Amino acid sequence: MTTPDRPAGRFISIEGPDGSGKTLQAERLAAALEERGFDVLLTREPGGTRLGDQLYELLMANGGEPIDPVADALLFNAARAQHVAQVIAPALAAGRIVVSARFADSTLAYQGYGEGVDLEVLRRIIAIATRGVRPDRTILLDLPAEVGLRRKTPETITRFESFFDLAYHLRVRAGFLEMAAADSDRWVVVDADRSADEVLGDVIAAVVGVLPAHDHARDAVARSEPPAAASRMQ
Ligand code: TMP
């Protein structure tokens, strides 16, 4: 709800295992919101800033020495600190709707549930990086780890698919589901093992409740139908 001390901006994050279609759904959600008159900022992690893109290259390198999981968490969160300071916080302060493919919950899922770093340690790191900026709504695009990994092409394979085994990806998925179950006010779980249009319908429905109130655009989004042409997510 918009109040005098709360800017009208809203923060929506899209999370999920590798190959769950986050990039596509974030793009289509942003486009759907823009069509209905919202001022939307579409962004992603890791990345979203120049420094973030440089760190992304380092983090995704498909060879070299194994990265220590705490070093991993600190690097992802260095990128996040820059992303929040330079991109997300100013957009929220300006009243924009921020849609981010991945945010802090990815650190908890991958470095925490996946790699075994203590979740409390990660929460402290995340609190420093985000300065308390938190999504109003987080959509979990859920699908079996095997299905997500099968969707990866040689061009989109990163260190996370080539160095980590299926058990790791199963822990990541279970971690996402556990976080979603523990905070159902913020999280909405969407079955991502369907056509992109079916998934988009649920993604749009999941954000309607957090859009700024008393806005004509909000009503238009609530009435919207996903485009008729069905296509499978990549
Ligand atoms: P992407 O596939 O969405 O581009 O993300 C790249 C990888 O980075 C993905 O396997 C998940 C991983 N990741 C983390 O391990 N921790 C994080 O905090 C973030 C944002 C991503």
pTM equals: 0.89
* Residue pLDDT, tens place only, 4-20: 455 679 999 999 998 89
Nearest Cα to 140, choosing from 180, 106, 107? 180
Residue with the bigger pLDDT between 220 and 125: it is 125
Of all protein residues, the one whose alpha carbon is nearest to atom 7 of ligand 1 is 160
- Residue 231: pLDDT band (50, 70, 90) is very low
Q: What's the rounded mean pLDDT across residues 104-118?
A: 97
At residue 225, the pLDDT reads 53
What tokens were used for 178? Answer: 């556990």
Q: How far is the CA of 46 from the centre of ligand 1 (A)?
A: 6
Position in ligand 1 atom list of the atom nearest CA 101: 3
Q: What's the rounded mean pLDDT across residues 161-184?
A: 91
Q: How far is the CA of 147 from the centre of ligand 1 (A)?
A: 17
Position in ligand 1 atom list of the atom nearest CA 102: 20
Q: How far is the CA of 41 from the centre of ligand 1 (A)?
A: 20
Q: Tell me the C-alpha distance between 93 and 68, whole Å.
A: 35
Position in ligand 1 atom list of the atom nearest CA 107: 18
At residue 59, the pLDDT reads 84
Q: How far is CA 168 from CA 7, 106, 221, in A?
A: 39, 14, 37
Assess contact for 4 and 21: CB atoms under 8 A: no
Assess contact for 196 and 232: CB atoms under 8 A: yes
Q: How far is the CA of 3 from the centre of ligand 1 (A)?
A: 34
Mean pLDDT of the chain, nearest integer? 88
* Residue pLDDT, tens place only, 67-104: 899 999 999 999 999 999 999 999 999 999 999 999 99
What is the fold, at CATH topology level, of the domain defined by 10-223?
Answer: Rossmann fold (3.40.50)
Q: What is the tally of helices (H) and strands (E) in the chain?
A: 11, 5
Position in ligand 1 atom list of the atom nearest CA 114: 15
* Residue pLDDT, tens place only, 153-164: 777 767 776 667
Assess contact for 126 and 1: CB atoms under 8 A: no
**Residue ranges lining ligand 1, Cβ < 6 Å:** 18, 45-46, 76, 102, 106-107, 110-111, 158, 160
Q: How far is the CA of 106 from the centre of ligand 1 (A)?
A: 6
Helix residue ranges per DSSP H, 11-158: 22-35, 50-60, 69-83, 89-93, 104-107, 119-130, 145-150
What tokens were used for 198? Answer: 């079916």
Instruction: Tell how strand 97-101 and strand 187-191 pair up.
Output: unpaired
- Residue 215: pLDDT band (50, 70, 90) is low
Q: How far is the CA of 215 from the centre of ligand 1 (A)?
A: 34
What tokens were used for 194? Answer: 């369907």
